[in-house]
Copies of this chain bind each other. A is one copy, B any other.
């Protein structure tokens, strides 16, 4: 086996495993693709495992036996996480985000694929001990983040709609009180979207009083779903009492000074 041959295999194996996180590939798949002995592939995977470990890219997990294989579990290392938090903190604190009413314009962050993919990977790292069947969000702004989190977990995304749609078939709807505006709103989830007793993680972009997250919990209870965790990118520090008991926020929004155009942001409590 020549030197370049191994290097070539490392490129192809790394690309495949990292592109499809938590997907199990059999060793046969690789040994057939490369016409290489299984022992050679095992050596390749050991090199990849060590490299991923040394550089903090994630874990290469080998599952022995006939139904076994290898999969890549992405992890964000401390340095990457620190860089991400620092970047988000600086970006969110930009005074020109302030909209009338003290709202913050955040679509440029929430809709930036490669940035939001890193936040999704951070959630998958924070919640790495959990084994969700689904990632659940409510339309619209949290969808990119929830999708990237679902991608890192290799599970389907479920999107709760504001209204029942003909393209989703029969659905369960509930009314909920938006915690901050005290308005009654409704949300709806297609019956087909999740089976009973599913384990889910709720992901959203923003939490103020937690009324929307509370509504999602209540709607999911109609499906007998078990909510393993709730994660939001940004939570406001006021009101301190949220309508959901436990949640993880990547960043906390301490204050918004609409007159002086000052925004104060701190890393969330998990940090």
Contacts and interface: CB of A to CB of B under 8 A. Distances in A.
A159 B11 contact: no
A169 B104 CA distance: 9
Oligomer copy total: 2
Nearest to A52: B11
Interface residues of A, number: 59
Interface string A192-233: 110000000000000000000000000000000000000000
Nearest to A206: B167
Interface in A5-44: 6-8, 10-12, 14-15, 18-20, 23, 44
Interface SS of chain A: helix
Most buried by B among A15, A154, A169: A15
Contacts of A11: 10, 14, 47-48, 51-52, 55, 57
A90 interface: no
Contacts of A15: 14, 18, 52, 57
Given A114-B23, A114-B151, A161-B140, A169 B14 contact: no
A140 B141 contact: no
